[in-house]
Structure 1
Amino acid sequence: MKVVTTISKHLNPERIFMLSALLVNAGNYVYNLLLGRILGPKEFADAAILITFLLVLSFLAMTFQLVAAKYVVLFEKSVFQRFLQILVKNTFIIGLVIGVLIIIFANQLQAVFNTSTSSMFMIFGVGVPIYFIMSINRGVFQGQKLFDKLAITYQGEMLSRLALTLLFLYILNIPSSVIVSIGILISFFFGLLPYKLKTNSENPSVFTSSHKKVVFKFFVLTAFYECTQIIINNSDILLVKHYFPSYEAGLYASLALIGRVVYFVAWMFVMLLLPNVVNKEKEGLPHGNVLLKYVIYISLLAFAIVAGSYLFPEFVVNIMFGKEYISIVPLLWKYALATSIFAISNVFAYYFLSIDKYVPVILSAVMGIAQVVLIIFFHNSLLQVVIMQIIAMSLLLLVQLIFFLSYQYIKK
């Protein structure tokens, strides 16, 4: 009985969410690794494009999630109810427009990314508005610190995608990229549960123009920042798929999946960071210590992953993807270093975004564009692509640190 009581005391909602996030990340990694092993480098290159599109979609959707998470804390209940009605309606329309555009330009996307079929993009496009609504639902849970329910939505999406994709690969005799896109689409519906976007129609005029102005400013700047995240986190895979043959692009995709583990784990700390900082800012309490705590956590994690990739690269690649991918071994620790630096700088950016300081957003955009330009001009080999990212991300972290230190100095 004492053991149960002790465990229950330590397993608060935040820690439950962190454990769940680790499981979700592990599940997503298993999903990617199994696809890499089952499909082989050439077919996996197509699947990796879909996975990259999913990551791009998740960054876009994070805009809606962060807006919901922030204003569920700051707005009174009646104001938030009206705000939620408006947000859900406009989000669905935006998602519908983006989804339709993906479907219309599916053939062009096939040509640009050298994929075997355009159908995979059409199926993916259908799911865009669903994913955006799912993200608002998650934002409400995040802002209200209902981390147990937030964990369920992520678990449902991950488990359904993993199980259904593997099942369909076994029973359906259709292109693997189409199967992957079907699995992704169906998983969005599971990610909607539990659903908490029921609103009432009381006080329809309570959401004033001043509210709209504040929300719109945060929305635009958050969307801008998420676009920089898309550029930094995904442009390398898309450019490699464009510049290199499918086999090499598949190898690079596997490298990216291994190297990005630190970024995906860092994501769970960002989920906890935002509501904590917003609450402290609302109450007039200091919150720099919250940022430093999460930076230390992620830095230690990053060091462990980069060290493991440097010391045991062949073991890591063999365990995760197999001997077909062994040629990426020399690149592993270098790519892990690039993503580690990005993950740390990302925490600074989200911290300042949560307290309405937007200079780090501009800094991220500048360095994201710099990364793309560097890769466009220097892509003679996969090694050169990775080195360009290390340079860009090191500069990004440096400018974020300088801004943080100057901000702390001004506050004093």
Structure 2
Amino acid sequence: MTDKNNIIDRFISYVKIDTQSDESSNSTPSTEKQWDLAKKLTEELREMGMQEVSIDENAYVMATLPSNVDFDVPVIGFVAHFDTTPDFSGTNVNPQIVEDYDGKDIVLNKEKNIILSPDYFEDLLEYKGQTLITTDGTTLLGADDKAGITEIMEAMQYFIAHPEVKHGKIRVCFTPDEEIGRGAHKFDVKKFGAEWAYTMDGSQVGELEYENFNAAGVVVTVTGKSVHPGYAKGKMINSMYIAQDFINSLPRLETPEHTEGREGFFHLNGIKGDVEETKLNYIIRDHDRQHFEARKEVMKKLGAEICKQYDRDCVTVEIKDQYFNMKEKVEPVMHIVDIAEEAMERVDITPLIKPIRGGTDGAQLSFMGLPCPNIFAGGHNFHGKYEYVPVESMQKAVEVIVKIAEITAEKFRK
């Protein structure tokens, strides 16, 4: 359906552009270099013949593929993000192409002895005989989410080249700063104008997700009293010891390394402190909204109890909600999930419907009035040097996009 070489060339042209986002920045996009890919995509959309191509002051790129049927079909959308994570270098990405993968170790970097091995990454064995694109061991790859962008662009190119394939109006959008949780913050849902959409931002073939964590960030500030240690008896209050009490009082088995599926957790992901003040950075995650709220209460009450124990206001707990489970917004319109599931089955993919142990732009967009399940983009081992993507998985994702549009038109034919 789609030419493998075209996909490879397009994907590599995108990943070679450094688009790493920066959570310490307050601008949108958070880094100037994200404009490089945003502008390239804008030009490519115009050149291929897409309509209503726009790029706004925050680098959100939108475009339209007009309907080619004479009856009303709901406007649907496809969304992907062009930034890459701050967690690992995205500078000088040098993709390696592994043809006809033989199921053995892949040497990413001989000099540094960096090996992508199926002994550790068992998923590799599912792609024997396929073409893999890997890193060179020194950077991430950027399949998260430049694979998604590639697939949307290839699908639009296919529609334009094949007008016999019937579809309604399709909107596409490419966003900045998803990796730092801001991908949907300045998304103009009204301008986008779709009834529903799909983010192409999942991992392995078949993933179809409409549940994600409810999420909050927590800053626990512990204040102590610094006194010269030689004269500290009865006077010094060491904030780090109090912080340790707080840490040890939370359920030890309700942490990321001990949970799976729909199980929630408390995650301590940063500590900075001295005698006078210690700050603990936590995230709270839970699929169940009631459990999520209960976790927030646990942390507030724990702070209050420690203050009571020390008979002073020594602990403050600041909690900020980050995003919510899109399930409550998608379930009332489950036909949008059913269409995606049917599309996968029609192209011989077994749908893998499971909760996301994380977040997605689709969660925020769903609460902004644009229900938005998440579909696989095909990559594995995101955010690091072992990242790879099978080209055949990207081809399948293109087929799913096309089939979703076809099925939507079929279902609303009068």
The TM-score bracket by the shorter chain reads under 0.3
Q: Return the TM-score normalized by structure 1.
A: 0.26
TM-score, normalised on structure 2? 0.25
Q: Which structure shows the bigger proportion of residues in helix conformation?
A: 1
Structure number with bigger Rg: 2
Larger strand share, 1 or 2:
2
Q: Which structure exhibits the higher relative contact order, with contacts defined as CA atoms closer than 8 Å and separated by 6 or more residues?
A: 2
